[in-house]
Structure 1
Amino acid sequence: MLMLGWMDDEALHRTLTTGRCTYWSRSRREYWVKGDTSGHVQYVKSVALDCDADTVLVKVDQVGAACHTGDRTCFDADVLASEPAGDQ
């Protein structure tokens, strides 16, 4: 997983029609296209809905970092928990 972002219907529509990931910024209250300012573009490979149709999984070709920190993924931080040894 590279990152997590918010999409409303309009952001999803823009993502599907342009082939580039568009998100809704809850803090700035505006749409943003991943890579427009950073150059770290996400090109859409596929989009799937979950069983409740309230979450989308977007598979992308990532150019550059996905995280605003410059890391490839937003999930490189310390692991909070892992599987117990016997549950693999």
Structure 2
Amino acid sequence: MNKVTAEILVPRGVFDAALKTVGKNIDEKIQSLADKFKVSKFVIVRRLYDSNDIDHSVYLSKTEELNKLFKEFQGRKKIIRGWKL
């Protein structure tokens, strides 16, 4: 995602204000912000990283976790598709 797109989807000023209203737990923070801005958790994790709210190791950990969940979802989706008549 490029910086222009990020600014359109999750404007810096609005993001900073919203960040002050969410809890400290990183997973709850990501979910709450993703819900508020109606974007993926990937977008929020990147925005948190770009704004120095999380460090590189947390960024890598969260994106790896999200990629794993996405792959699991894709696998379940294929199984369900196979059951359709």
TM-score normalised by length of structure 1 = 0.26
TM-score normalised by length of structure 2 = 0.27
Question: Which protein is richer in strand relative to its size?
Answer: 1
Question: Which protein is richer in helix relative to its size?
Answer: 2
